[in-house]
Chain A
Amino acid sequence: MGRYFAIRIGRAALTIVLVVTFAFVVLRLSGDPALMILGPEAPPEVIAAFRKAWGLDDPIWFQYLDYFHAIAKGELGRSMRDGRPAIQLVLERIPATLALTLPAFVFKVALGVPAGIYAALHRGSGIDRAVMMTAVAGFTVPSFVLALLLVLIFAVQLGWLPSGGQDSWRHAILPIATLSLGGAAVLARFTRSAMLEVLGQPYIRTASAKGVPWRKVVTSHALPNAAIPTVTILGFMVGTLIAGAVVVESVFSWPGVGRLLVVAVANRDLAVVQCILLLVALTMVTSNLVVDFLYGFLDPRLRAKGAHT
C-alpha cells in the first residue's frame, strides 16, 4: 500500500520537473522578451540593458539552474512588464477563474454523469440517441465556437445576457454555460460507455440471478464498478480548474488566469508564464494523485497489486 503511493508521488514530482523544464526551454527558444516588451524600435542599448537586468544574456543552462535555485527558495520571479512578483499577479486572478470553473465543474458532473447513466440503462432508446447526439455535438464543437454561438443567441439576438466583462453574476452565465456544456458532453459519453461495459459483465447477471432488484443491481453493483473509469475523467477535469478556461476567458473578456496566460505568452513575460504553468502542473499532478488514491479506494484489485509490486 505504502509503496503504491510512494511510486506515484515520485512520478508526480518527476512530471512537475519535466513540465517546468519544457516550458523554460520552449519559452526561451520562441522569442525574445526584450523585443516583445520594449518593441522593435527600442534603441539597442536599452534592449541590452533590459537583457542584462533580467539575466537574459546568460547561457540558457545557467538561467535554468538559476531558476531552479530560485524556486527552491520559493521565489517565482517577477513580471518583466510591471516588476511585481509573478505569483502575486497570478494569485490575484485565481478567484475570477474559479468563479467560472468551479460552478462549471458542478454543472458538468450534475448533467453529464446522470445523462450517461440514463443513456446506458436505456440503450437504444430515443433518449439514449438524443443524449449521444448532444454529447457528440458538445465535444466536437470547439469551445470558442460554442461561446460565440451562445453570445450570438443570448446576447445579440435575444439580448438577455451580456456578451463579456465581469460586472455582475449575469456576466458569468454564458462563460459557465460554455464550459459546462462541453464538459458534460465528454462526461456523458464516458459514463455511458463505462456503464455499458459494466452492465455486460457476468457479475451483473449473478446479482440478478440471486434476486437483487434491478434498481439495486444498478446502484450497488454496476455504479461502483463504472465509477472507476469515470473518476479518471473527473480527475482530469479537476486538474483544469485553474487554467481550463483560457479560450472562454478570452472570448468573454473575463479577467482570469487564462487571459493572463494569453497576454503573458504574447509578451514573453517569462516569469508569469512559468508561474502559471507551474501552478497548472501542480494542480494536474495533484488531481492525478488524488485519482490514484481514489482508484485504490474504489478498486480492491489495484490495492492488492500495489502491495505486491
Chain B
Amino acid sequence: MAPLISIERLSVAFNGVPVLRGVDLSLQQGEALGLVGESGSGKSVTWLAALGLLPRQAKVTGSVRLDGREILGAPAAELDRVRGGRVAMIFQDPASALNPVLTIRRQLCEALALHRDLSGEAVKAEARRLLDVVGIPDAKRRIEAYPHEFSGGQVQRIMIAMALAGHPDLLIADEPTTALDATIQAQILDLLATIRREMGMAMVLISHDLGVVAENCDRVAVMYAGRIVEEAPANQIFADPVHPYAQGLIGALPPLDGPRRRLTAIPGTVPDPARMPAGCAFAPRCSLAAEPCCVAAPSLAPISDGRSVACIRAEASRRALLGMAAE
C-alpha cells in the first residue's frame, strides 16, 4: 500500500549547523506513529520542516511526499492547502498557540473557511459542532470568548478542534500534553484516540514520554541527534529494544511488574550539533561502541519485519540485553 506521507533524506541546517541529518520516515493512512527522543533530537523540526513551517534561514533538503506528490519546496498556495487541509498540527504550549486578541470563533471559522466549502451560518454551526466534539461545554456561548478565558486543557481541546476543521488525513501532535497536568493529559490523549478512531485519521505523536507513546501508537520511531536510530512496532520496541540508545531510554523506565531492578541512566550528554562525532552520534555514550562505530554513521537498516535499526552493533546489543535479562 502506498504510504500517506513519506519523508526521505530530510535534512535541516540552521546557519550551517545541521540539526536534522537525513531522516527517513513514512506513514500509512490511519496509522499512529510515536516519535520519541530527548529535546533537541529533531522530533519537532522534522515535521515543521516537512510542512515548510521553519524560518527562512533554515536550509531544508530531501523529499517529503504526500500521496506521492512532492510538497517540500512546493509553491506557497499549495502548501497552504496542505497545511490544515491534509496535515494539521497541534503544539506543546496551548496557552501561547492561540492568538490572544482574536475570539475562538474567529480562529476556528478561519480554518473552516480555508478548507471547507462552507459559508455564512454553516461555518458558525460547524465551529460550534467542533467545540462540542472536543468537549468544550456550552459551546454556543463560549465560542465568543478569547483564549485567555479558557484553561490550558481547554485551549488544547480548542487547538484540536481547529486542527480537525479541515478534515485532515494526518494530525501532528507535537508534545500535546507536556504543558498540562497529569489528569488533563490523560483526557486529551483519550480525546485524540477517540477522534482518530472515528475519523480514521493518521497521527504522529511527538513526545519524550515513552508511556504516552506506548499507549497511543502502533509504531514508534526513536530519534537521536537528528536521526532516526530505531523504528519498530510499539509493543516490540518496549519489550525488545535493539539500539543501545533505545535500550537506554527504556531501561530508564521503572517496570510496573516483575522483580525490582536498578534503573539505568545513559552516561554523558547529547553531542553539540555543531560538533557531531564523525561516526555514530551515540558512540561516545555507548557501552558497546567499537572502533568502526566512530568511522561512519550507520544507516537505518531492516532487521526483521517492520523493524529497522541504525546500529552496526545491533546483534551484539541484543545479545547483551538478553544476557542481562538471563542474569
Contact = CB atoms under 8 A, between A and B. Distances in A.
Given A210-B114, A212-B114, A225-B101, 15 more contacts: A202-B91, A203-B97, A203-B99, A205-B97, A208-B53, A210-B83, A210-B110, A210-B162, A210-B165, A210-B166, A211-B85, A211-B111, A212-B84, A213-B77, A225-B99
A208 B77 CA distance: 12
B80 A212 contact: yes
15 contacts: A201-B96, A207-B110, A208-B53, A208-B83, A209-B83, A209-B91, A210-B110, A211-B111, A212-B84, A213-B77, A224-B99, A228-B101, A301-B100, A301-B148, A304-B146
A206 interface: yes
Interface string B234-247: 00000000000000
Contacts of B165: 210
B149 interface: yes
Interface in B167-204: none
Nearest to B100: A301
Contacts of B93: 202
A201 B97 CA distance: 8
A210 B84 contact: yes
Nearest to A205: B53
A214 interface: yes
Interface of B: 48, 51, 53, 57, 76-77, 80-85, 88-89, 91, 93, 96-103, 110-111, 114-115, 146, 148-149, 159, 162-163, 165-166
Contact of B81 (A206, A211, A214, A304): A211
A299 interface: yes
A304 B146 CA distance: 10
B53 A211 contact: no
Given A211-B84, A304-B149, A206 B101 contact: no
A225 to B, nearest CB: 6
Given A225-B101, A300-B148, A304-B148, A209 B110 contact: no
Nearest to B114: A211
A221 B115 contact: no
Contacts of B159: 206
B320 to A, nearest CB: 42
Interface string A209-240: 11111100000110011001000000000000
A298 interface: yes
A209 B149 CA distance: 23
Contacts of A225: 99-101
Nearest to A299: B101
Given A211-B114, A214-B76, A206 B83 contact: no
B115 A206 contact: no
4 cross-chain pairs, A with B, having the tightest CB-CB distances, nearest first = A211-B84, A210-B84, A300-B146, A211-B83
B110 A212 contact: yes
Q: Name A's interface SS.
A: helix
Nearest to B96: A202
Which of A124, A203, A298 has the most C-beta atoms of chain B within 10 angstroms of its own C-beta? A203
B100 A203 contact: yes
A209 B146 contact: no
A209 B168 CA distance: 12
A155 B51 CA distance: 57
Contacts of A205: 48, 53, 91, 97
A297 to B, nearest CB: 10
B62 to A, nearest CB: 20
Which of B57, B83, B101 has the most C-beta atoms of chain A within 10 angstroms of its own C-beta? B101
B102 to A, nearest CB: 7
Given A202-B91, A206-B91, A211 B115 contact: yes
Contacts of A124: 57
Contacts of A202: 91, 93, 96-97
B97 A206 contact: yes
Nearest to B79: A211
Contacts of B51: 209
Contacts of B101: 224-225, 228, 298-300
Given A202-B91, A211-B83, A211-B114, A221 B100 contact: no
Contacts of A304: 146, 148-149
A124 B93 CA distance: 28
A212 B102 CA distance: 15
A260 to B, nearest CB: 42
B80 A211 contact: yes
Nearest to B162: A210
Interface string A181-215: 00000000000000000000111011111111110
Contacts of A206: 91, 97-99, 159, 162
Interface string A129-145: 00000000000000000
